[in-house]
Structure 1
Amino acid sequence: MSFYEDRILPHIIDRACSMGQVMKLRSHVVPNAKGTVLEVGMGSAINLQFYNPDQVDLVYGLEPSEGMRRKAQPNLSRSPVKVEWLDLPGEKIPLADNSVDTVLLTFTLCTIPDWHAALLQMKRVLKPGGELLFLEHGESHEHSVRTWQHRITPGWKKLAGGCHLNRHIADLIREAGFDIVELENLYVPKTPKIAGYIYKGRAVNPA
């Protein structure tokens, strides 16, 4: 891992992902988590403040970046719920089959290299009927915005830790075998459209 990826990028990502409007969206999604939770791409742990301790028994925080885990320490110290780190990438989830009640994805699928393998791993560990809660940015429904997203992504992902602007999040989730039962699309206010088109919703593991 380069100095940029370990020491600089975590601060950039944390700042970008903790803006006021983004935090408001997180506050709408995270409290729905229940039971044993797997948060994929926990990052700096900025979601922890939104978990409901009366509903959550344990949060497994999957985060392969040492820099992000280091950045998360202040939030971990204030966490209202118990957290256990898993320091492997999303494609390698070290949990048993059918072992979690909720999987949480917030601004994560854009960066996972093999998103399909990662989603299949999430489906494997999620109990039948368990919920996948997601808040992700991705491919816009507007042709003009999509065009720029596809043009910019090759260079953007080199600077933004592998982040893709042009992934159709809902299609990826469906392709992995989840049933989407709730979906809202919107642009984050005061954010460039190429990076601010949001997929917010809930999917169920039908297996």
Structure 2
Amino acid sequence: MNPWEKYVVPNLISCACASKPMMKQREKVIPYAEGKVLEIGCGSGTNFSYYDPDKVEHLYALEPSGGMLKKARRAAGALGYGNNIEFLETGAESVPLEDHSIDTVVYTFVLCTIPDWKGALAETRRLLKPGGKIIFSEHGLAPDEGVAKWQRRVEPVWKPLAGGCHLTRDTNKMLEEAGFELQDAETMYLPGTPKIAGFCSWGSAVPV
């Protein structure tokens, strides 16, 4: 890992992912998490304050970056979560949890970055209990060709600077291809955000 990836990217992503429009998106979906919850790519713990402690039995916070996990542990400590959060330093493609052990899997602004997104969503299917669900809010490929054209142009430069973030992944299509049915999915361009990085979809999805 080069110095940019080790020291700069974690702070850059933490700052970008805590912008006001993104925080508003997190606030829309995170309170729907319930039971045993697995958060994919918890980063610096940006979502932690939005979980409803009366609904969440246990939170597994998965994050492959050691630098990010240090920030997440500090955030959990500041919120007084104690033993209710269990940190997993690993990737989303191989999660050390039992089959059908999770009620809710949370994806917020991470499917753009996961190298093997198909493997991650297959692992999510393995982990979800019958009746379990994904809740998500993600940015990705815009429906307007003028914006999408610029996304494709910028992505080769953007991706290495932004920790592997893809601008052209279609979240809803990815979920459907992985065998999930979308429920109450909504989309919009995030206010105050460049359109190439601001087309957002959110909602929930269940295995079919």
- TM bracket, shorter-chain basis: over 0.9
| Residue of structure 2 in register with 1:3 after alignment | 3
Equivalent position of 2:22 in the other structure: 22
Aligned partner of 2:68 in structure 1 is: 68
Whole-angstrom distance in 2 between the partners of 1:89 and 1:74? 21
Asked if the contact 1:53/1:80 (under 8 Å) is kept, the reply is no
What does residue 35 of structure 1 align with? Answer: 35
Distance in 2 between the 1:131 and 1:187 partners? 25
Partner of 1:177: 179
Could you say which residue in structure 2 is the equivalent of 1:201? 203
Partners of 1:95 and 1:201 in 2: CA distance: 25
Partner of 1:42, secondary structure, is coil
Runs of at least 5 residues in structure 2 that lack an aligned partner in the other structure: none
CA distance in 1: counterparts of 2:24 and 2:80, whole angstroms: 18
1:60-86 CA distances to partner (integer Å, 9 max, x unpaired)?
A: 111000111122233111336411111
TM-score, normalised to structure 2's length?
0.96
Alpha-carbon separation, structure 1, partners of 2:80 and 2:140: 30
SS of match in other structure, 2:165: coil
Matched residue, 1:162: 164
Deviations 1:116-142 (A, max 9, x none): 011000111011221100000000010
Q: For this pair of structures, how many residues does the alignment match?
A: 206
Report matched runs for 1:92-171 at 5 Å.
92-171=94-173
Opposite residue 151 of structure 1, the aligned amino acid is R
Distance 1:114 1:57, change over 3 A: same
Greater than 2 Å deviation, 4+ residue runs:
78-81
Question: For 1:83, which of 82, 85, 93 is the aligned residue?
Answer: 85
90-99 or 72-81, larger mean C-alpha shift: 72-81
Measure the CA separation in 2 of the matches of 1:161 and 1:58. 29
Asked if the contact 1:6–1:66 (Cα under 8 Å) also holds between the matched residues in 2, the reply is no
TM-score between both structures, scaled by the size of structure 1: 0.97
| Contact 1:38/1:62 (<8 A) preserved | yes
Flag structure 1 segments of 5+ consecutive residues without an equivalent. none
